[in-house]
Structure formats: structure tokens, C-alpha cells
Amino acid sequence: MSLDDTPPWNDVRNYVDGDWRDPRGPNGQEVVNPATGESISYVGFSSAADVEDAVEAGMAAFETWESTPVEERIQPLFELKRLLEAHQSELAEVLVREHGKTRAEANGELRRGIENVEVACGIPSMMQAGHLPNAAPDIDETAVRKPLGVFTAITPFNFPGMIPLWFLPYAVATGNAFILKPSEQVPVVTERLFELIDRAGFPDGVVQLVHGGVETVNALLDNEDVVGASFVGSTPVARTVYERAATHGKRVQAQGGAKNHIIVTETADLDFAARKTVSSAYACGGERCLANDVVVVDESVYDEFADRLLERARAQTVGDGLDEGTDIGALITPEHETRVRELIQTGVDEGAELLLDGRDVTVDGYEDGNFLGPTVFGDVAPEMTIAREEIFGPVLGLVPVSGLDEAIEILNGSEFGNAASLFTSSGADARTVRHRADVGNLGVNAGTAAPMAFFHFGGRKASFFGDLHAQGEDMIRFYTDETVYIERWPDA
Ligand code: NAD
């Protein structure tokens, strides 16, 4: 497989101890282009023995990697950044073909992934802990951060070009070995990423890739030599992974699903808010943990905001992500499309007003694609299913409220706490929401509350299990343990 061919592609392989190997488990699945329904590759699932081989190689690599000077450890990351930028458009094309999102979205996510590689290049400064001379009489104290061993990350289908990079660069820059288990639904772009990793100059066994499903994840979590696990995916699996990893003594961070709210106050710039809401709800077909699909609007501006929003929603073009004019690409699988269609029907059955119905959309020449058009519900009540459950499709609901207190009550009443956004011209309203919103990320006049890589990223409540989040400074703490030296030299 080279970086510039077109599908069908070869079966994907693991990358273990610097070698490309076929997964040896009995199961596997076709990789399907969601826009065409065509099979474009095949992924075999790794066996427990495949996982064991990777863990052993990781432990062997860790022995020398942990004491490799930090300046040497970051050199492959500088090279990886260069390679990722040089091959970004090819990676983006693979990503579009196996995921269904648009080329612009694929490029955007790769850029956010590269940003994490850049931040991890600063580990020599970030990894320093602290030193205090004369902390007590004749005593100097020094805290140092040390890497711990072999870590794993298990990642979801929706951002395969970015989410592995929330973890991988920090894990290896701090001196650990790292094993990635990507989503079995989008394994090809990960293999392409590892073709670049293979060329970046990491010693064998420092960065590895094992494909697979539940059995592969369980083999990683049950392995006592894996010291820590990061997970990103749906809430039920996040909860299970958190518990299983903890049972095996690992440090663990598990990011789950979401239900994100936008609050539009009476002083908001309605045109701007409508534009940002459409992009937040429909980008990547709504398959984003930051998709804001519950829009809580002050009743004094509800009708005007709904009109502006509908005008923009109707203008969205649905199609193959490879076509430049496409705004909304295909959903990941026919099963997921069916689930979103059922949720739309539930919205109708529970009494919400269907203002724009995306169920009849057709894309000429793509009859086997998993397409749904932009869908807007009005008069949604907070207790309705579409206002509570993660939809993960191009569907949004407008909830009329009277005043900011009611809006915040709805936001904080959610089971989830990943992100929210506020549109307002009032500093006082912004300050109130900043103080009271129970979310991990809050956008103020910003539709998608995605922090840059030098800030941590993670939610609260059912959106996150653990304490240290992905990206930035939290990653340094997750991937290291501190030892404090307390020193006295009586002769000095
Ligand atoms: P998923 O939970 O189905 O799968 C995620 C990963 O877990 C995959 O690698 C999969 O192979 C593995 N997996 C699946 N079932 C498992 C099980 N029973 N035991 C062990 N491992 C299992 O999630 P998905 O459909 O790939 O991704 C979409 C979900 O991810 C959404 O809920 C979305 O909100 C969430 N997500 C959250 C964030 C965040 O930062 N909070 C970011 C992206 C996506």
C-alpha cells in the first residue's frame, strides 16, 4: 500500500515491533465507503497473541526509550509533523472515502491532529516538574516526572485522523511506549498514518498499531503489563472500559458520548448565531462529540432565529465528501442511518414540530450511500428523546425558553457535560453562564467549543470517566508519575 493509490486497498495490517503483520484473530470485517456502499478494504481483528506480542515489544522498547535524552525523543515527532503536512491531502482523501465526511472536514481534523504533534515537541519544557532549595532547614526538594511503561489508546470512528494524536505524541515524547487500537470502521487512514510513523525514525516497538474489535480491546485492558489506557467512544463502552481498566490496576481516562446545547439569548447576533449553529450541528454529518444539536432560544427572538436558521439549513448540500460542493457527507453505516431516521420519527411521535425533514434526500449516482439531509425540529421540549439522547446525525431541535435561568437549567439537566455554546452580546449573561454551566468546554459566540491542543479537552458527567483529560498539560500528568527527592548534605 502506498500513500497515493485508490481503492480497493489491500487488507489492513498491524504495525508491531517495527514490522507490518496480518492480524491473526478469527474475526474481521469489510471496510465500506459510506457514500457508495462499496467495499474498499478489509480489517482482520487481532488475537490475544497479537496483543501480547505488541505489549512485549513495547516493554522491550521502553527499557531504552525511557532513558533516551528527551531532545532525541522529540526528533521523530518533528519528522512526523513534516511527513503529515507533506501527505495531508492524500490522508484526507483516504479519510473521506472510508468515513464519508467532506474533504474540508478531513483536512481540518488532520490539522488539529498535527497541532498535538507540535505541542508534544515542547515536552522538554512541559515535562519539567519543580525544584525548591531550602524547602526545610538544609533540605532541597526536587520533583521529577518519570514515564511509566506501555500505554494504550482505543479510539472511535468519527475523527480517525485526529483523536489518536490526542494521545500518541505525548505518550512517546514523555518516554513511554504506545499501542493504538483504532476503530475497526475506519482502519485504513490509521494504517496510512503508521506508514508515516514508520518513516519518522522511532525505535522499533515504541509506537505500535493493533486493529480489532471488542476482543482486542479486552486483551489490552486485561494485560497487566499495560500501565494505562485512554478511551474515546460512546458512553456505555467508556464506562465499561473505565471499570475494566481500573480492575486491572491501570490509570485510565475514558471520554464518552455527548449532548451539547447552544443558548441563544435575546441580545445575540441572530445571523451569526444561525450560521454557527448550522455548522456546529451539521458538520461531519452531526457525527461529532461537539455537535450542538439542542438549541435553546429565548422566546423573544425564537421566530426570527428559526427563520434565519431554516434558510441556512435548507441551503446545505448533501453528497459525496469528495465533491467540492458537498456540505453534509454520508453517515458511517446503513445501521446508523436507520437509527437516526428512527430518532427523527420519535421526535415526530413525541410532538415536536418537524420544520425541515431530511429523510427524503437523494443523491444522484449514490443510491447505496448512507445519506440524510439537514433536519430541524421546532417546539422541542427538554424531556423529549431528541432533546436528551445523543443523535449523531444532521438533526437539531429548537427549544423555546423564557430567560437565561431556564436555559441554564435545561443545559445542566442533561446527563452529559461535554460542551455548550452561548450566543449573546451581554457580558453579564456570558459571565453568568461561565459560572453556572456544568460542561467541560464552553464556547462564547463560538459554535464549536474545541480547544487548541495546548489546552486539555474533555467533558463531565456521562461524557467523561477519569480525572486527567486529553491534550496539553493533562497528558503530561497522565503519562508520567512524579517522584520527589528530599535531599540533605550535612557537609555542604
Ligand atoms: P464506540 O464506543 O462504538 O467505539 C469506540 C471504540 O471502542 C472502538 O475502537 C471500538 O472498537 C471499541 N469498542 C466498541 N464496543 C466495545 C466494547 N463493548 N468493549 C470494548 N471496546 C469496544 O464509539 P464510536 O461509534 O466509534 O464513536 C462514536 C461515539 O464516540 C459517540 O458517542 C461520540 O460522542 C463519542 N466521542 C466522544 C468524544 C469525546 O471527546 N468525548 C470524541 C469523539 C467521539
377: buried, middle or exposed (CB in 10 Å: 19+, 13-18, 0-12)? buried
Mutate to test the pocket of ligand 1, among 27, 217, 221, 340 (most ligand atoms within 8 A of CB): 217
Mean residue pLDDT across the chain: 97
* CATH tag, 14-256+463-484: 3.40.605.10
For residues 465 and 458, what is the distance between their CA atoms, to the nearest angstrom? 10
Average pLDDT over residues 190-194: 98
pLDDT at 106: 98
Residue of the CA atom closest to atom 9 of ligand 1:
183
Ligand 1 lined by 463 (C-beta under 6 Å): yes
For the record, the C-alpha cell of 157 comes out as 470512528
Ligand 1 lined by 183 (C-beta under 6 Å): yes
**CB of 183 closer than 8 Å to CB of 156:** yes
pLDDT at 4: 66
Residue of the CA atom closest to atom 30 of ligand 1:
233
Average pLDDT over residues 15-41: 98
Average pLDDT over residues 319-323: 98
pLDDT at 45: 98
The model's pLDDT over 393-449, given as tens digits with 9 standing for 90+, comes to 999 999 999 999 999 999 999 999 999 999 999 999 999 999 999 999 999 999 989
Average pLDDT over residues 156-174: 98
Q: Is the pLDDT of residue 329 over 60?
A: yes
Closest ligand 1 atom number to CA of residue 236: 2
Domain boundaries, the chain: 14-256+463-484, 260-444
Ligand 1 lined by 184 (C-beta under 6 Å): yes
332: buried, middle or exposed (CB in 10 Å: 19+, 13-18, 0-12)? buried
Q: Is the pLDDT of residue 154 over 70?
A: yes
The model's pLDDT over 62-104, given as tens digits with 9 standing for 90+, comes to 999 999 999 999 999 999 999 999 999 999 999 999 999 999 9
Mutate to test the pocket of ligand 1, among 31, 234, 337 (most ligand atoms within 8 A of CB): 234
- Apex CA 59: angle with CA 477 and CA 147, to 5°? 20
For residues 128 and 73, what is the distance between their CA atoms, to the nearest angstrom? 15
121 among known catalytic residues: no
pLDDT at 3: 64
The model's pLDDT over 237-296, given as tens digits with 9 standing for 90+, comes to 999 999 999 999 999 999 999 999 999 999 999 999 999 999 999 999 999 999 999 999
233 Cα: distance to centroid of ligand 1 (angstroms): 2
To the nearest 10 degrees (0 to 180), the angle between helices 187-200 and 88-99 is 160
Beta carbons within 10 angstroms of residue 475's beta carbon: 29
For the record, the C-alpha cell of 383 comes out as 424531556
For residues 188 and 366, what is the distance between their CA atoms, to the nearest angstrom? 22
ipTM for the predicted complex: 0.99
Tell me 359's DSSP state.
G
Question: Which residues on neighbouring strands pair with residue 375, listed in sequence order?
Answer: 395
Residue from 57, 96, 219, 289 carrying the catalytic annotation: 289
pTM of the complete model: 0.97
Pairing of strands 28-32, 19-21: unpaired
In CATH, which of 3.40.309.10, 3.40.50.920, 1.10.1240.10, 3.20.10.10 is domain 260-444? 3.40.309.10
Average pLDDT over residues 211-230: 98
Tell me 457's DSSP state.
B
472 Cα: distance to centroid of ligand 1 (angstroms): 22
Q: Is the pLDDT of residue 5 over 90?
A: no
